[in-house]
Structure 1
């Protein structure tokens, strides 16, 4: 997750880097306005840069050295801070608009290993079976151990139709497995919606982009076009996050005006921010079940945590990823950029989910639903199957001659084997029944 940022004090970083390059190029030394220890460190850097320029076995490009030094400096901080050369920075800006060329994988560095946060739906990675938690050990013939996230992304990006091989290690694998993927133009539609049953809707947010809030508003209006919603399943599984402001706006649909949604804490004054729900049209009081899993990260965790803290939704699934930091994008003078971790975010109750994640109210693993209930029921015997059993005398049976069967779901075929969605729908229907009988408010 990241947020836009104006130059402000950050311009000083650009000036310092430019100055260092000039000092080496002209072989001069000037005292910088900095503390003693800072100056000594900068002097050490310029000395090394000067020695490399003068004595390395081959002539080197100063800009390449500077880029390498900046990149090394940022990757020593945390897995999410990185330097983006002009080409990578340009691609990053395209990403937030929802279209780019590549495989469709959100990645991070975990325990020093390039790891998949989640595949993006309907992309080459998703279709090939790449899963959250997969460790990417090689990209083509290049080991990823010493690659930054930026370098890894650059290697996986490419023109549509070109192929790349990624070597995966997964829990349960006895050895690594190669996946040959064909790159495609990744058109990410961030919001999808369907009707699960009469009055019960489903909304899936795959990641938080510039138009996610607008798309969500359209989806909710479509769901409510025929009848008011009686319950909603909000699916944030494998949602790697995205724009902070969009996470806030998504929450605003269900959080009353003036209520806290999320706040951030950092060293600088402008990194200490509080986001509260603004005026606007609010959704009705229908119950919500939010689905999360280990691939739910960053902005999706903000939404789940906010709705959970305000008791506006029941969170179901398994522990989320646990990315509780905010990255600020800082443009530099040569069209490159910095992605710098500047704050941590906290849910309304003050929880930091960094390296911990959101704990679901109801733990629900996704299980195989290919076995039908009829097959399972066939293993049980009932009273009517026993020899010499008494027949029903008809009292209290009404006009029915056969046992009542539960009404079949009008659920989309895509969800019939999704145990978590079915369980969420059952929970919503159960809540509706309790409310109708006066046993729930």
Structure 2
């Protein structure tokens, strides 16, 4: 009798028992590891906690809301730039990383009746469809836009290339409604609304952001303006006011355009060695060292500060305006297979060897000190009256309604004070009321005095001061007359001729901070 099969069976049984023992041991070790690793253990506890809540709470809970609340709590103690990102936002970011999107070419803000058109991109589908700034988009296809957020409503204007969107429009200028079909197409992101020469042969470039393609657009603009046959530029003004930043890579490329090889651009210092690096310029200054000023302000942040700081600390440019925002933090992204992900602050950036904008603990110092200008010039929007007036959109509406007359008068050089009187009457009709911080404080003191039953003499004095303060507030319209007349012209020009014309005819000729930045370069020369 052959005993080989029995031996094989016994051998197979022993091997099976051996592997079972190994698996048990491995499982035991994994269990010990999980229990000993605090983060994994807490994740298990959290998962169990959420399951108990959803299964045993006295009322039904929305699982998505529970998880969303937990996510928000995880980021609550971090800086404002670290957050959870939903898949639809990632899709929008993906679109923008290509340097464009599929839409109709509008900038809009929220309005009670839908979306108000603030500007129409030249040669865009909206431009060809006859839309104007000031129009109200009430419906997109069958969707009523009233009551939606700007992001929600704007999403209905975007869509697949060559798809159509049917819009219902209200035009306040003549109190009419109309409907129009517009075909979506690719809209390239507008990084530079204007690049040209001033009357002093100084290049002026307005840069709105550092999204994908910004550096290429600057390089093209410089290449065009530096190689004119009949004119040689004598300086460069780069306007970064209210530029919120964008891609770190674009900031490096922009700074690199103005530096010779081997100079420090910026460094990053993070918790991980992979997030710590020094970036060095690697080309040549394409302007051959033309004198340069950069206009900055409180709204110049992130990548704007990288460019401004790099060129300032390398003594390549002077800064004009106000101290920058103070965002010296770098974010990284993690994206999960299902589409969602996180944005997380991973490092701080610095200039030279140790010039940091943000202190070490970004959760306590998420806004740094900013970069100070070499030449201070106050921002007009720092004036509380101008800020309140701009937010009310009354300037915008008045200029739209009187567009042709404003342009005609401005071209003739006599946009005189009678326009201020007309505008003052318009504001009265619209019930616009401005109350300065001073008047608000005096009013509050008076209310407290009345509530606490202070003496009649004190209350009367408060009332006297309040009336005097209100009289000063009413004079603000005429104190800011040069700003108001210029803004009326700027809005009217943009609506009729497009944004490029508003810059060439109004902004670079009449905006005080631009004139100051060019004067500095003339003095340097």
Shorter-chain TM-score category? 0.5 to 0.7
Would you say 1:204 and 2:297 are equivalent positions? Answer: no
For 1:183-202, what aligned pairs fall within 5 Å after superposition?
A: 188-191=189-192, 192-202=194-204
Whole-Å Cα distance in 1 between the matches of residues 154 and 188 of structure 2?
Answer: 14
Would you say 1:339 and 2:343 are equivalent positions? Answer: yes
Alignment partner, residue 51 of structure 2: 50
| Structure 1 residues without counterparts, runs of 5 or longer | 1-28, 107-119, 129-139, 143-151, 164-183, 376-409, 433-441
Aligned CA distance change for structure 1 residues 331 and 153 (closer, same or farther; 3 Å): farther
Whole-Å Cα distance in 2 between the matches of residues 214 and 272 of structure 1?
Answer: 26
Would you say 1:159 and 2:122 are equivalent positions? Answer: no
Alignment partner, residue 390 of structure 2: none
Which of 424, 427, 439 lines up with 2:520 in the alignment? Answer: 427
Whole-Å Cα distance in 2 between the matches of residues 348 and 193 of structure 1?
Answer: 30
Q: CA deviation at 1:40?
A: 4.7
Whole-Å Cα distance in 1 between the matches of residues 242 and 98 of structure 2?
Answer: 19
Alpha-carbon contact 2:258-2:285 (below 8 Å) kept = no
Which of 415, 418, 436 lines up with 2:508 in the alignment? Answer: 415
Whole-Å Cα distance in 1 between the matches of residues 99 and 35 of structure 2?
Answer: 42
Q: CA deviation at 1:157?
A: 4.6
Alignment partner, residue 304 of structure 1: 308
Alpha-carbon contact 2:244-2:302 (below 8 Å) kept = yes
Please provide the CA RMSD for this pair: 3.8
Q: CA deviation at 1:287?
A: 0.6
Whole-Å Cα distance in 2 between the matches of residues 68 and 336 of structure 1?
Answer: 15
Corresponding residue SS for 2:196:
strand
Q: CA deviation at 1:327?
A: 0.7
Q: CA deviation at 1:48?
A: 1.9
Alpha-carbon contact 1:207-1:241 (below 8 Å) kept = yes
Would you say 1:360 and 2:373 are equivalent positions? Answer: yes
Alignment partner, residue 223 of structure 2: 221
| Structure 2 residues without counterparts, runs of 5 or longer | 1-29, 110-117, 122-132, 135-145, 158-166, 170-183, 359-367, 382-409, 417-502
Which of 247, 250, 256 lines up with 2:251 in the alignment? Answer: 247
Alpha-carbon contact 1:233-1:288 (below 8 Å) kept = yes
Aligned pairs, how many? Answer: 314
Alignment partner, residue 236 of structure 1: 240
| Residues 390-431 of structure 1 deviation map (CA, whole Å, 9 limit, x = unaligned) | xxxxxxxxxxxxxxxxxxxx9643323311100011111122
Whole-Å Cα distance in 2 between the matches of residues 84 and 32 of structure 1?
Answer: 31
Alignment partner, residue 261 of structure 2: 257
Whole-Å Cα distance in 2 between the matches of residues 213 and 315 of structure 1?
Answer: 20
Corresponding residue SS for 2:222:
helix
Whole-Å Cα distance in 2 between the matches of residues 87 and 157 of structure 1?
Answer: 13
Whole-Å Cα distance in 2 between the matches of residues 235 and 121 of structure 1?
Answer: 20
| Residues 153-209 of structure 1 deviation map (CA, whole Å, 9 limit, x = unaligned) | 85575323699xxxxxxxxxxxxxxxxxxxx99863112311112531001111012
Alpha-carbon contact 2:320-2:375 (below 8 Å) kept = yes
Whole-Å Cα distance in 2 between the matches of residues 94 and 327 of structure 1?
Answer: 19
Aligned CA distance change for structure 1 residues 231 and 280 (closer, same or farther; 3 Å): closer
Aligned CA distance change for structure 1 residues 81 and 156 (closer, same or farther; 3 Å): farther
Alpha-carbon contact 1:121-1:206 (below 8 Å) kept = no
Q: CA deviation at 1:349?
A: 4.8
Alignment partner, residue 96 of structure 1: 97
Alpha-carbon contact 2:322-2:379 (below 8 Å) kept = no
Alpha-carbon contact 1:326-1:345 (below 8 Å) kept = yes
| Residues 41-95 of structure 1 deviation map (CA, whole Å, 9 limit, x = unaligned) | 324312321112202422644x664454334313431101111121121112223
TM-score by structure 1 length?
Answer: 0.62
Corresponding residue SS for 2:89:
helix
Deviates more, 1:204-213 or 1:296-305: 204-213
Whole-Å Cα distance in 1 between the matches of residues 222 and 108 of structure 2?
Answer: 28
Whole-Å Cα distance in 1 between the matches of residues 65 and 327 of structure 2?
Answer: 31
Corresponding residue SS for 1:342:
strand
Corresponding residue SS for 2:523:
helix
Aligned CA distance change for structure 1 residues 156 and 33 (closer, same or farther; 3 Å): farther
Alignment partner, residue 294 of structure 2: 290
For 1:105-184, what aligned pairs fall within 5 Å after superposition?
A: 155=152, 157-160=154-157
Whole-Å Cα distance in 2 between the matches of residues 89 and 200 of structure 1?
Answer: 40
Looking at CA atoms only, which structure, 1 or 2, has the larger radius of gyration? 2
Corresponding residue SS for 1:197:
coil
Alignment partner, residue 74 of structure 1: 75
Deviates more, 1:83-92 or 1:286-295: 83-92
Aligned CA distance change for structure 1 residues 195 and 31 (closer, same or farther; 3 Å): farther
Which of 271, 275, 278 lines up with 2:282 in the alignment? Answer: 278
| Residues 184-235 of structure 1 deviation map (CA, whole Å, 9 limit, x = unaligned) | 9986311231111253100111101221111111000111121332100000
Corresponding residue SS for 1:238:
coil
Alignment partner, residue 399 of structure 1: none
Structure having greater relative contact order (Cα 8 Å, sep ≥ 6): 1
Aligned CA distance change for structure 1 residues 105 and 315 (closer, same or farther; 3 Å): farther
